[in-house]
Amino acid sequence: MRFIAIFLITNSHLDHLYPIPQLGTGGAIGNALFFMLAGYGLALSWQREKRTFPQWYERRILRIYPSLILVVGIFDLIIGGGWKSWTFLDYLKEFLWPTSAWFISALMLFYIVIFVMLKLKKHNAFLALIFFLFIPYFHMYLTSVDLSHYSIEGPGYFKWIFYLQIMLSGCYLAYHSDKIRFKNHSSIVILIAALIIYYAFGISFLKGHYAEYQFIIHLLTFAIVYFTFAIARSAFVLEKIMVYKKTSSLIPLISGVTLEIYLLQYQVYSNIIVTSLFFPINIIVFWILVIFLAFIISRMSDFIRTFLTSYLNRKLSFLQ
């Protein structure tokens, strides 16, 4: 699922590389899959081991910030010439918070909410909060969102409410995943139907038709994420795709560097090396370069992460 998520997110930014720009789509679904998986993983981790908030949040920081600092430091600060003009506030903004990646600024706040919910030890509390968040969702939708065109996935904080709901749904599913089964291919039928309706509405909204109902896109995304999760747990996926020699190594490799691919993609798809090539060579070269660079950044991040973890452990032992 993480492999699919990063493919969709990245593909949505490659419209300028396709002969038909509309092929660059899927970003919102990819984002939803990513946030759902983030919540799912956090809840599973919490079930295995409980930590204090500083310990728990430290692990989240060490997972994200080494890669962020490397990418921003190398490509924006040094190569991009940020060192010539950045102010102190610019350094804080780019390296600390909110950063140029909106999903990181959202995650760092969502983590606090998720920790509080995990501490409650009430699985249904996740479901209750998801439904409660529809109150501010529709309040902002009716008062702050431009409903003259498709805008719910645009800049701004409105979509944060939806992605927090999706992340909470991932936590809820982690406690009830044993009840989710792939049933008689109905999951595939429902998923395909939801995707068709999703894109039919999406095209209509993009053309400015019935844009006041664009919240339907988010509601459909809940179904798409859920049934994608169900299909991912099917015997076919687990026993055929995930153990197939060619995919069993490729999928884990790419899914292990999704953060780095997300951070690096702009640097690669906007580079003249890629933009000067013709289709489909430009797409192929893009993916080769971004995966290669992501792997390097990931290994460098692992080194930094190991060093910082060792340093913090030594410091903690000294204080104790």
Q: Is the pLDDT of residue 195 over 90?
A: yes
pLDDT-above-90 percentage for the chain: 83
Distance CA 261, CA 284 (A): 15
| Confidence (pLDDT) at 316 | 64
Q: Is the pLDDT of residue 241 over 80?
A: yes
Q: Is 18:90 a contact under the CB 8 Å cutoff?
A: no
Q: Is the pLDDT of residue 248 over 80?
A: no
- The phi and psi torsions of 185 (rounded to 5 degrees) equal 65, 5
| Confidence (pLDDT) at 311 | 78
275-318 residue pLDDT tens: 999 999 999 999 999 999 999 999 999 999 999 888 777 766 66
| Confidence (pLDDT) at 320 | 58
33-62 residue pLDDT tens: 999 999 999 999 999 999 999 999 999 999
199-232 residue pLDDT tens: 999 999 999 899 999 999 999 999 999 999 999 9
132-187 residue pLDDT tens: 999 999 999 999 999 999 999 999 999 999 999 999 999 999 998 877 777 668 88
| Confidence (pLDDT) at 97 | 95
- DSSP letters, 234-269, are SHHIIIIITTSHHHHHHHHHHHTTHHHHHHHHHHHH
